Amino acid sequence: MCGIPMSSIKARAAQFAIDWLAGTYLVAMLHRILWAEVIMGVPIPFAWGGPESASLIEGVPDWLLYLTVGSVIAAFASVTKASLALVVQGKLPHSSWQRTVALHQGALLVSLTFITGWVVTKISLVDMFSGERLQAAGRIFSSMLQPECSILPQALNAIVETVYLAFMATVLAVPASFVLSFLSARNLMKSKFWTRAVYLSLRTLTNFTRSIEPLVWAVIFTVWVKVGPFPGMLALMVHTISSLTKQYSEQIEDIDPGPLEAIASTGARQLQIVWFGVVPQVFIPFLSFTIYRWDINVRMATVIGLVGGGGIGTMLNQYQMLAQWHEVGLIVLVIAGVVWVMDYVSARIREALV
């Protein structure tokens, strides 16, 4: 009676949007990469504002043109049902011509993306395998294969710093993540308006902090608290808090609600309900995640030194700047050894836990 249902309108709109995006992308890559760069050999800058002369139509920005053609493609797809979005959703019958057209469009999209990637990353076999380049490769490999062992004590000191840095970052992050994970578990927080508000803001915050890599955090903290292992530890800690909070809270969302309900029904207090209804179910997985995170943190701690975050990375950075490749070789060996041991030990502990 009231016409097309809302959900169907939404689905159509989403489908149009996907086709539009795909169409625009296709046209843009065809013009900028395949035509201009590969065929004509005149690269146009990727983003806005290429040289005026490169515009396809005078006075009209290329991107506007792409969007227009893209919308025409989307409209065509919408009318004829030869739509990429529908194919992805598996909604087109197998032997229809629409499916064939859409599949070809998809194949073109994938190949264009690959070509674009190749062009953009400036992949060049000449740069890798010409005689001169191979000589350079030989130089660095042969130096590194003869590591300078006199700096071993210094390297061991540095790697100890790295391991402890990772350890402290993990240990200090665990209590914070533990508390935060309960507050950002959907199943525990969905009941009241204000708890849902806490849940949503925490989720947003941790998603944001997690999307910033520890290396970037390290840059921030080296400005804040000066260079050294401390800013490195802080950087790893921040990243660990957001990562562990996510992993922990997903584990909490996965629990069997039965025991929780049973304990609530005895008239227990909120804290008791969570402590006895949730914690026993997540304790072992939490432990396992934590150990794994320490393992990851040791790896990250080795590179965090490259931007001034202390430990073996800082040492590596110094010798690399001086082009002392024998010393670099030794440092790489020490890192590889310690990371391998950590990896092995953490895997064994986690195996024993389950």
Partner 1 sequence: MTILEVRNLSKVYPNGTQALKSVTFSVEKGEFLAVIGLSGSGKSTLLRCINRLIEPTSGTILFEGQDVTHIKGEELRRYRQKIGMIFQQFNLIGRYSVLHNVLMGSLGSIRTIDSLLGRFPASLRQLALQNLEIVGIADKAHVRADSLSGGQQQRVAIARALMQEPLMLLADEPVASLDPATSHSVMRYLGYINREIGTTIICNLHFLSLVREYATRVIALKEGEVVFEGAPTDITEEWFRHIYGDEAVEVEIQ
Q: Which two tokens stand for residue 221?
A: 């903290």
3-state helix, strand and coil shares in percent for the chain, rounded to the nearest 5: 80, 0, 20
Q: Which is nearer to partner 1, 213 or 261 (CB)?
A: 261
| No. of helices (H) and no. of strands (E), the chain | 16, 0
DSSP 1: -
8-16, 74-82, 257-265, 329-337 -> range binding partner 1 (CB under 8 A): 257-265
Choice from 45, 49, 175, 258 touching partner 1 (CB under 8 A):
258
Q: Which is nearer to partner 1, 150 or 272 (CB)?
A: 272
Q: Which is nearer to partner 1, 208 or 283 (CB)?
A: 283
Q: Which is nearer to partner 1, 33 or 260 (CB)?
A: 260
d(CA 11, CA 282): 38
Residue with tokens 């590889």: 336
Site for partner 1 in 46-75 (CB under 8 A): none
How deeply is 192 buried, as exposed, middle or buried, from its count of CB atoms within 10 A (0-12, 13-18, 19+)? exposed
Binding string, 282-311, against partner 1, x = CB under 8 A? -x----------------------------
- On whether the CB atoms of residues 330 and 155 are closer than 8 A, the answer is yes
CB of 260 to partner 1, least distance (A): 8
Residue 114, number of CB atoms within 10 A of its CB: 10
Q: Which is nearer to partner 1, 126 or 271 (CB)?
A: 271
**Total residues interacting with partner 1, rule: CB under 8 A:** 20
Task: Return the amino acid letter for 278.
Answer: V
Choice from 8, 280, 347, 353 touching partner 1 (CB under 8 A):
280
Choice from 128, 262, 322, 353 touching partner 1 (CB under 8 A):
262
Residue with tokens 């240990």: 171
Q: Which is nearer to partner 1, 52 or 256 (CB)?
A: 256
Choice from 44, 102, 238, 263 touching partner 1 (CB under 8 A):
263
Residue 119, number of CB atoms within 10 A of its CB: 16
Non-local (6+) Cβ contacts of 268 within 8 A are: 276
Q: Which is nearer to partner 1, 43 or 259 (CB)?
A: 259
Residue with tokens 């990637």: 117
CB of 93 to partner 1, least distance (A): 32
Site residues, partner 1 (CB under 8 A): 256, 258-259, 261-269, 271-272, 275-277, 280-281, 283
